[in-house]
Chains A and B, each alone.
Chain A
Amino acid sequence: MNGKLRIKAAAVALAAAGGLAWAADAAAQAKEIFVPVLVYRTGPYAPNGVPWADGFVDYLKLVNARDGGVNGVKLSYEECETGYATDRGVECYERLKSKHPVAFSPLSTGITYALTDKVDNDHIVLITAGYGRADSVDGAVFKWNFPLMGTYWDGADILVQHVKKKGSLKGKKIALVYHDSPYGKEPIPVLEELAKKEGFTLLKLPVTHPGVEQKATWLQIRQQRPDYVFLWGWGVMNSTAIKEAIAVGYPRLQMYGVWWAAAEPDVLPAEQAAKGYNGLALEHSAENNLPIHKDMIKYLYDKGKGTAADKKEVGQVLYNRGMLSAMLTVESIRTAQAKYGKGVMTADQVRWGAEHLNIDKARIKALGVEGILQPMHTSCEDHEGVRMARIHTWDGSEWSYTSDWYTADYKLLRPMIEQSAMKYAAEKGIKPRDCKKEM
């Protein structure tokens, strides 16, 4: 009886001690710029989250190892596991906020929505390269959001442009198989608008998280026989979709995935059978022999400091995207330093840098990413910088480009962006900035 009670007491004491173990950690390093990394290395989205995280962290490490930091100022980083869950993302944000981060890249549209409300007060940059709120292109309302390189509205528009090239869309049927979350629902307004304009019918088929149950969805597709299927999935939903498409005999040639649904983890489980599957390539595909990749191998992997478990991951689609995400963050810091002096930057200064990015062909070559990044130029009213993409196709063992560059129809999208941004501003009581006054 006594022994049992002692064990119980010890357990309670241990629990209490453990609870106090998170006592405040060391003060933020004064001489480094802190870049937090919100990742998910566990859960149903891990297969896609891991390469992105590896690419992101590798680039930060590379800048420190190869260049000695950004103009001499080293970068410090910390990973925080979110599991793609919004509340864990918010918790990570709150915890890492005290270390004076300059920019967050949450890799989740859901977390982006939650953080958008907070960054205005907290003054932290939110870089959502290739995801996030489509209306945050309008920097007059969304001062701290930067959906660099492209949003889902661009992706939807470009996909429609591409399939239109194969023949008029009037009377045709396009099915959108989407992840039932803010990420998956984001392209619907644009697709509905284009459906009216081009005359096709849009069939919306939601798939609930985590996306493993798609039999009924694809049975419906077999019945309805759409001409094209747009896949807006993430994590295991993608590979499941392709497998179910094979199981109902839907030709992969008619399937198009958004840039988050067209990477190796999605097609490798089906390998040869996925041959013909197309996807959007956001600037880059799976290139791995550019100067930047050679640097990664030379400075990190040859010295055993690489983040990825397998060197072969360097250069994969999502690895490149994480790498570019980190690169744009660093370029924002660098642009800020050009104005504010080569020292430790604050978040406000980095925000200015992100808003005045001017990456031209020469700079792209110097960064070693020629061919996978188009020249981009951000401004107060355009927080995106560039909106171009291509199509790449899986041939059973690797990706290859199968189209020219497309540019999203800004004339169509800008009014929609502004309308949505104004609605948000009205809801939140935000007074939009006057971009003409600011420089």
Chain B
Amino acid sequence: MIYRETGQFKTTYASDQQLFPILQDRIFVVAFLAFAFGAVPFIATDYLFRAILTPFLILSLAAIGLNILVGYCGQLSLGTGGFMAVGAYAAYNLAIRLPSLNLLVVFVLAGLCSTAVGALFGIPSLRIKGFYLAVTTLAAQFFLDWAFARVGWFTNYSSSGSVSAPPLLFFGHVIEGPVEKYLFVLSIVCVLALAAKNLTRGAIGRSWMAMRDMDVAAEVIGIRPLYAKLTAFAVSSFFVGIAGALWAFIYLGAWEPLAFDVNRSFELLFMVIIGGLGSIVGSFLGAAFIVILPLALNQFPTALGIPISTATISEIELMVFGALIVFFLIAEPRGLARLCAIGKEKLRLWPFPH
């Protein structure tokens, strides 16, 4: 019983429906954000920014997008990598061909391109369900992979197929250095996560969840399946597209189509499943887990001083990965978010057992 949640009465509908109705929650969130924006840039090392925080933030944005599609709307999608690629290449083409555009505008437009493509590949979902849909999203993945490797226009006719992002000009200032990139990405992710949270709390989010739970019944009570499913695909692709553009521009710097292949799609699906389907916080937790796990596994043996070859470490990584996925699914199929929620519940009563 760290703090008392009772006694906080609301007098208006607005205050009752706010995102964090409990005062202590609000304080915690504000403090956390203050820490992330204000303290971390000063205390974290370069490596932490480049290799952990920035990829974590970008991948959690993509995971939020996928969670909207899989967790909230129940449409299994294995083509997320392809949509990230659409965002990345759209941003690249916009930045190269219209260099006067503001960086934020470039990213938003890239997200919209990804939205269009996502809606297009979402059309089959009106007729196809479940695993069948998963395999058809694979069609999107492989087709987009091929398109970006083959069609010269997308890569500005680069002979090697590899493209590199132009310098990141943001209101006259070039974003370089790990701290600036981290802050830029953090801001974007915060705004978009808030947007996602509000979308899922609103009518559109409820229509998604209705489609997920029982689509026939939803149609019967008047939710249009076309509208619900296509908006799910569209919104999800928007987030994923911006994440792809960020991944390419800020994290990789130079990339080729293989950077967004089917393994990336699976990785994102793992994040969503392990983090928790249908939970925005879960997307963050899942992304953190997937980003940190390989690094931890890599460093563990060296930290303990056991000499193992890199090949064996890689293979052990795969094994631990697979075993952990199965373990999480058995222990808590609703993911890390549920575990956190249970923890919070327990903390309400602690130190009493009931």
Q: How far is the CA of A15 from the CA of B274 in the complex (A)?
A: 12
Judge if A29 is at the interface, Cβ distance under 8 Å.
Answer: no
Within the complex, which residue of B47, B161, B162 is in contact with A98, where a contact is CB–CB below 8 Å?
B47
What A residues does B100 contact at CB under 8 A?
none
What B residues does A8 contact at CB under 8 A?
331-332, 339, 342
Within the complex, which residue of A25, A180, A189 is in contact with B302, where a contact is CB–CB below 8 Å?
A25
Q: Which residues in window 110-135 of A have CB below 8 A to B?
A: 110, 113-114, 116-118, 121, 133
Q: Which residues in window 277-306 of B have CB below 8 A to A?
A: 288-289, 292-293, 295-300, 302-303
Q: Which of A80-88, A226-234, A237-245, A381-389 contacts B (4 or more CB under 8 A)?
A: A80-88
Q: By the criterion CB–CB under 8 Å, are B296 and A87 in contact?
A: no
Judge if B21 is at the interface, Cβ distance under 8 Å.
Answer: no
What B residues does A46 contact at CB under 8 A?
311
Shortest Cβ distance from residue A431 to the other chain B in the assembled complex, whole angstroms: 14
Q: Which residues in window 64-87 of A have CB below 8 A to B?
A: 79-81, 83, 85-87
Q: Which of B8-16, B197-205, B250-258 contacts A (4 or more CB under 8 A)?
A: B250-258
Judge if A90 is at the interface, Cβ distance under 8 Å.
Answer: yes
What B residues does A186 contact at CB under 8 A?
159-160
Shortest Cβ distance from residue B254 to the other chain A in the assembled complex, whole angstroms: 4
Shortest Cβ distance from residue B2 to the other chain A in the assembled complex, whole angstroms: 17
Check A18/B296 contact, CB under 8 A, given A41-B311, A188-B159.
yes
What A residues does B336 contact at CB under 8 A?
12
What B residues does A272 contact at CB under 8 A?
none
Shortest Cβ distance from residue A179 to the other chain B in the assembled complex, whole angstroms: 11
- Looking across the interface, which residue of chain B has its beta carbon closest to that of A79? B310
Judge if A248 is at the interface, Cβ distance under 8 Å.
Answer: no
- Looking across the interface, which residue of chain B has its beta carbon closest to that of A22? B299
Q: By the criterion CB–CB under 8 Å, are A98 and B310 in contact?
A: no
Q: How far is the CA of A75 from the CA of B328 in the complex (A)?
A: 43
Judge if A197 is at the interface, Cβ distance under 8 Å.
Answer: no
Q: By the criterion CB–CB under 8 Å, are A110 and B256 in contact?
A: yes
Q: How far is the CA of A20 from the CA of B293 in the complex (A)?
A: 10
Within the complex, which residue of B160, B254, B310 is in contact with A117, where a contact is CB–CB below 8 Å?
B254
What A residues does B350 contact at CB under 8 A?
none
Judge if A11 is at the interface, Cβ distance under 8 Å.
Answer: yes
Q: By the criterion CB–CB under 8 Å, are B299 and A109 in contact?
A: no
Q: By the criterion CB–CB under 8 Å, are B256 and A19 in contact?
A: no
Q: How far is the CA of A63 from the CA of B164 in the complex (A)?
A: 37
Q: By the criterion CB–CB under 8 Å, are A81 and B314 in contact?
A: yes
Q: Which residues in window 134-162 of B have CB below 8 A to A?
A: 145-146, 149-150, 159-162
Judge if A224 is at the interface, Cβ distance under 8 Å.
Answer: no
Q: By the criterion CB–CB under 8 Å, are B296 and A19 in contact?
A: yes
Judge if A289 is at the interface, Cβ distance under 8 Å.
Answer: no
**11 CB-based A-B contacts, threshold 8 Å:** A8-B342, A12-B339, A18-B300, A23-B303, A86-B259, A94-B51, A116-B164, A117-B164, A208-B146, A208-B149, A209-B261
